[in-house]
């Protein structure tokens, strides 16, 4: 299981939209094989960007309201938030260099 914080419908506004630093949310589900594939990569990148980026996971099965409000139609979906607004999204599994480029392009 992940060491990343869990974002939920209940804490999304405070933890994601109210964050002082950019936030990367990994929308995922336990049954999703591609989600399981990128999970360790996202955790590794979270360590690489400590202090510059907040990273967490949101289980779409347990947090359907936030997933629907963000038009999450396919998972895994990574959404980058800055100043309370979504500034970029990536859908599907990808290797670390591609996810890191997504982060650096949007941070």
Catalytic residue among 24, 35, 53, 67: 35
Burial track 76-88 (b if 16+ CB lie within 10 A, e otherwise): bbbbbbeeeebeb
Active site residue 39: no
Query: Is there a catalytic annotation at residue 76?
Result: no
Residues 6+ apart with CB under 8 A from 94: 38, 102
Q: Which of 32, 41, 72, 94 is catalytic?
A: 32
Give catalytic residue positions: 32, 35
């Amino acid at each position: 299981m992940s060491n990343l914080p869990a974002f939920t419908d209940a804490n999304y506004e405070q933890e994601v939209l109210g964050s002082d630093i950019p936030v990367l949310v990994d929308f995922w589900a336990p049954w999703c094989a591609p989600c399981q594939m990128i999970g360790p990569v996202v955790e590794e990148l979270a360590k690489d960007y400590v202090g510059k980026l907040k990273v967490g996971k949101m289980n779409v099965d347990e947090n359907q309201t936030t997933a629907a409000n963000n038009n999450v139609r396919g998972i895994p979906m990574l959404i980058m938030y800055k100043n309370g607004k979504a500034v970029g999204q990536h859908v599907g599994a990808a290797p670390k260099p591609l996810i890191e480029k997504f982060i650096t392009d949007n941070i």
